[in-house]
Amino acid sequence: MAAVLVAAAAAATEARNMKMSERRSITGALAAATCTLLGTSSPEPVQAQEEPGWDFNTALLYYGEDNDRVQDLSLNVLARRTFTDDRFLTLGLTFDTLTGATPNGALPQSVPQTFTQPSGRRTYTTAPGDFPIDDTFRDSRVALTAAWQQPLRRLSTINLGLSASAEFDYTHLGLNAKISRDFNNRNTTLSAGLAFAMDDLDPVGGTPIGLTPMRNADNDDDDDEGGNRGPTESKDILDFVFGVTQVISRNLLMQVNYSYSDSSGYLSDPYKILSAVDAVTGDVVPITQMPGIDGPSHLNYYELRPDSRRKHSLYTQAKYYMDGKVLDASYRYMTDDWEIDSHTLELRFRWPLSDSRYLEPHLRFYTQSAAEFYRPSLIDGDPLPEYASADYRLGDFDAITAGMKYGWKTGGGNDVSVRLELYKQSGNVSSSQLIGNQLNRDSYPDLNAIIFQFAYRFGM
Amino acid sequence: MLTAGLILLGTISGCSSMGVEPWERDILAKEEMQLTTDPIEAATDDHIYFSKEASSGGRGFGGGGCGCN
């Protein structure tokens, strides 16, 4: 996300530069015209610079899922300092507080199910018919970004960025660079970017070894990480982005980006499991615990994903101006070597109500196919597959977002906006992957969430 | 690589017939016509969808920097 923040900031900066250079040429032309009319010579050279100063974008975001699942409260600040000669420094800060519960990957059953918490210290129990959710999830996250932009030559710009973030069980450090060059009277901009990230994971209770049975709880508060627990893990992510931005006409602007992303290292989710089921009934295999032992009531395995993933994305965006209203449409196709294909279509329509107020409806449609190793369960007695995950985010699902933003300018010229959006995911598990009683039960944890954001932008 | 280069050259030369003159940029210069009008909204949305879906990136770099996925 930190890299995205930097990229978004860079895109905004780039866009503003284009705007600024225009503002300058218009100012210059007006100044020259005025001087001609007044019959005087220009008192001093017209300074083609944006006023140095700070511009602050701030926002408070609430994201909440239904059924007591994840809730996130997020504070974001993006500060941009303008220097002379088209140089900019952008600093970003994000602070997230997450609470709630998330599906652990196991299937619902007609009997209660007990699971060991990720910490390995206690167990939790899920009611019959419910999707097992791990309600011990709690985290906070701090992310920082810094980006520097400056012209390289008359038509080229370079952006250099750093990103870092820390959570209780996760740290990230990233570097990125992007070069852009204008062509065709600045109607075409080509850009190339590179980002590298090094992330470390230190899961609560140690990293589980993939495709081994869920451990028992030890009921003590020591941080021992024995048994099927591995050490701290890491992953590296390398991203390339190539883009073309083209002015088509006075009121139409388009962009096409190709991006490639290569992740390697530990890519599993250390908190996700799969149920091991009976080959005929499809019910999760019960475990009889020895007296005095606190542990899972049913047989579950920790998930295991491949240790590399290569993604290709093609993204295109168009901005079209229609008599004061602006249509913003984008489409993204993504494909990867986990056999996930996805399509994302996004539409925003900015509709001015007056000079200082606007409404902006937003629609987003998303669909993805399942990863080749996604499966709702493992069959007890069958040889274990090479990789397996029941994480709903790797399954076959559709999602829709519908929202509305209302924005206005304050008397002091600052921008304020509020937006409310609803996000809904509906999944589908192929009936060929379901066995016996599973066909009569929910096999995919659908998701409904609301997004509320308050944003305030001001300059100093 | 060669193909990519040829496509790039084709794009540049093909695009040269499109576009506007410098004095026709009044609309394109408007804030609401920038590709990213609200950088924080773009970043928070990317973060939410990165956490809940198997895709990321496109507009910019693919993301990461979060234990959420």
Asked if residue A243 is part of any domain, the answer here is yes
Q: What is the mean pLDDT of residues A255-259?
A: 97
- Measured between CA atoms, the residue of chain A closest to residue B37 is A12
Q: Is A15 in Cβ contact with B59 (below 8 Å)? A: no
CB-CB neighbours of A166 under 10 Å: 16
User: What pLDDT shows up at residue A292?
Assistant: 87
- Please tell me the distance from the alpha carbon of residue A222 to that of residue A209, in angstroms, as a whole number: 20
Q: Which residues of B44-66 are buried (b: 16+ CB within 10 A; e: fewer)?
A: bbbbbbbbbbbbbbbbbbbbbbb
Based on the structure, what is the number of domains in chain A? 1
Residues in chain B with CB shorter than 8 Å from the CB of A245 are 35
User: What pLDDT shows up at residue A11?
Assistant: 45
Asked if residue A41 is part of any domain, the answer here is no
Asked if residue A128 is part of any domain, the answer here is yes
CATH code for the domain in which residue A56 is found: 2.40.160.40
- Please tell me the distance from the alpha carbon of residue A5 to that of residue A282, in angstroms, as a whole number: 44
User: What pLDDT shows up at residue A1?
Assistant: 41
- Please tell me the distance from the alpha carbon of residue A448 to that of residue A452, in angstroms, as a whole number: 14
DSSP state of A95: E
Token reading at A234: 């890491």
Residues in chain A with CB shorter than 8 Å from the CB of B25 are 22, 250
pTM (two decimals):
0.87
| Residue of B33, B62, B69 with shortest CB distance to A326 | B33
Asked if residue A16 is part of any domain, the answer here is yes
- Measured between CA atoms, the residue of chain B closest to residue A259 is B58
Asked if residue A328 is part of any domain, the answer here is yes
Does the CB of B57 have a partner CB in chain A at under 8 Å?
Answer: yes
Asked if residue A44 is part of any domain, the answer here is no
Which residue range is the domain that position A407 belongs to?
2-22+50-459
* CA distances (Å), origin A185, targets A18, A46, A154, A192, A365: 12, 22, 12, 19, 36
Asked if residue A28 is part of any domain, the answer here is no
Q: What is the mean pLDDT of residues A316-335?
A: 98
> In chain B, which residues have pLDDT < 70?
1-16, 62-65, 69
Does the CB of B11 have a partner CB in chain A at under 8 Å?
Answer: yes
Question: What pLDDT, in 10s, does the model give residues A8-45?
Answer: 444 444 444 444 444 444 444 444 444 334 433 334 44
Residue, of A276 and B17, whose pLDDT is higher: A276
* CA distances (Å), origin A300, targets A23, A289, A344, A392: 63, 14, 34, 16
Q: What are phi and psi of A26, to 5 degrees?
A: -70, -45
Using a 10 angstrom Cβ sphere, with 0-12 exposed, 13-18 middle and 19 or more buried, the burial of residue A429 is: buried
